[in-house]
Structure 1
Amino acid sequence: MLIIEGLTRRFGDRVAVDDVCLEVPRGAFVGIIGRSGAGKSTLLRLVNRLAEPSAGRILWDGAEVTGLRGRALRDWRARCAMVFQGFNLSGRLDVLTNVLVGRLNKVPAHRSLLCLWSDADRAVALAALERFDIAELAAQRAEHLSGGQQQRVAIARALVQEPEIILADEPIASLDPRNTRVVMEALARINRDYGITVLCNLHSLDIARSYCDRLVGLSAGRLVFDGAPDALDADAARRLYGLEAADVMDAARPGLASPAPSPFLAHT
């Protein structure tokens, strides 16, 4: 279980995350929603320890994450994988090598520095690409891929870390509707088939209601909603989205949020 207690992050006089408390059981798929600047990305970066908290603490299965340093912190970041909005791939490297980067914490330092991958590591990486129907792209340079393909490569890289939790920071922000479905279905399958906990920042309430079994809403860094997607009513939407609430709720009416079948699933 992930436990967040009184987590706060200040940047000078600005409070990006303000005394957030959460408990997330293993295997959950949690959507973190709210307007831009609400603190969603900062919250995930705090959990992964890419940002340091100003106050509060983070625990995973009873072990405190907040004070980890050195090797222990690297191990935590392997167990708590990040998927970024901007993909964070090396465009000049081929797809397979980009995925193999997720194995760095599993190999000796001398091998990782020289990129000496074992046959077993290559097999794991290829299996992850096959899982997301992109194994045929293994030899292509990442910069030649579409946005949806690059994000699937990034998710495959996260999967080969063998994580216990995946933090996805606006993974569909730059994608078209078709690739949005493909990427969200990839995350949903990881959650369902492997039991990996997923925390996913989403700007779209429509998508959040379609794929997440729980929503956590932030406004100005504070937790203002925590519950099932169907429990998000107009009052909660106003606290989250202000004057945009009516438009957001209209776009996410029941019946509009059901995703269409994706070609990605047809190949699996």
Structure 2
Amino acid sequence: MLELEGLTRRFGAKTAVDNITLAIAPGEMVGVIGRSGAGKSTLLRMINRLGDPTEGRIIWRGRDITALRGQALRQWRSQCAMVFQQFNLSPRLDVLTNVLVGRLCHVPAWRAVLGLWRETDRAIALSALEQFDIGALAPQRAGSLSGGQQQRVAIARALVQEPAIILADEPVASLDPRNTTLVMDALQEINRRFGITVLVNLHSLDLSRRYCTRLVGLAAGRLVFDGPPEALTDAVARSLYGLEAAEVIGAEPALVAA
């Protein structure tokens, strides 16, 4: 169980996340929705401890994550993998090596520095790529791939960490409809097949309703909705998105199937 207790983050006079209390059960796929600037990215970064809360606590299986430092904090980040909007790959390295970076928490540092990866780690990385139908791309430079391919590589890298939780921060924001489908399918497959808890920040209500079993809505850093997708009415959407509501409530272009 992941529990957030009164989680708050301030930047000077601005409150980005305001007193959020949530409990996320193992195996849930939760969509975090809201307009730009609502606090979605700040919330996920605090959970991973890329940013520290101003107030409140993060509890994982009874352990206070906000108190972790040093090696204990690194271990937490290995259990709580991040997928970023801009992929965060090394463009000059081949795809397989980029995925192998996700194994750093499982191998001695000297092996990674020297590139002396164990065959078992290579097999795990290649299996993750094949899981998302991109095994053939393993020898290619990451920078030569399309945005959708790079994002699937980033998801494969997160998967080989063997995490309990994956946090995906606007993973499809810069992708076309076809690649959006492929990336969201990949996250859903991880959730369903491996039982990994997924928290994904999304701007699109259509995608949120289609892929997530639970939606959490933020407005001005505050929690204003928490429930199943079918409970997200147009009125709630307007409270979340304000003047942008007309854009996200209306029908969106059909996504191209893989």
TM-score, normalisation: structure 2: 0.97
Is 1:251 matched up with 2:251?
Answer: yes
Match of 2:8 in 1: 8
Counterparts of 2:109 and 2:144, CA distance in 1: 30
Report how far residue 260 of structure 1 moved: 5.2
Is 1:76 matched up with 2:72?
Answer: no
Counterparts of 2:172 and 2:247, CA distance in 1: 20
Match of 2:29 in 1: 29
1:183-202 to 2 correspondence within 5 Å?
183-202=183-202
Q: Cα distance 1:260–1:177, how it changes in 2: closer, same or farther (>3 A)?
A: closer
Report how far residue 243 of structure 1 moved: 2.0
Percent identity over the alignment is 69
Match of 2:171 in 1: 171
Counterparts of 2:216 and 2:177, CA distance in 1: 23
Counterparts of 1:135 and 1:72, CA distance in 2: 33
Match of 2:159 in 1: 159
Report how far residue 64 of structure 1 moved: 1.2
Match of 1:55 in 2: 55
| Deviation beyond 4 Å, 4+ runs, structure 1 | none
Structure 1, 111-120 or 174-183: larger mean CA deviation: 111-120
Contact conserved, 2:8 with 2:18, CA < 8 A, in 1?
yes
Report how far residue 62 of structure 1 moved: 1.2
Contact conserved, 2:4 with 2:20, CA < 8 A, in 1?
yes
Contact conserved, 2:177 with 2:256, CA < 8 A, in 1?
no
Match of 2:99 in 1: 99
What whole-Å deviation, never above 9, does each CA across 1:73-121 have from its counterpart, x for those lacking one?
0010010000000000000000000000000010112223323200010
Match of 2:85 in 1: 85
Is 1:261 matched up with 2:253?
Answer: no
Counterparts of 1:80 and 1:6, CA distance in 2: 20
- Secondary structure of the residue aligned to 1:81 is strand
**Aligned partner of 1:127: which letter?**
S
- Secondary structure of the residue aligned to 2:190 is helix
Counterparts of 2:16 and 2:115, CA distance in 1: 38
Unaligned runs of 5+ in 1: 263-268
**Aligned partner of 1:24: which letter?**
I
Is 1:18 matched up with 2:13?
Answer: no
TM-score, normalisation: structure 1: 0.94
Match of 1:131 in 2: 131
What whole-Å deviation, never above 9, does each CA across 1:43-86 have from its counterpart, x for those lacking one?
00000000010000001111111111111100100100000000
Structure 1, 229-238 or 37-46: larger mean CA deviation: 229-238
Counterparts of 1:208 and 1:9, CA distance in 2: 25
Counterparts of 2:58 and 2:218, CA distance in 1: 18
Unaligned runs of 5+ in 2: none
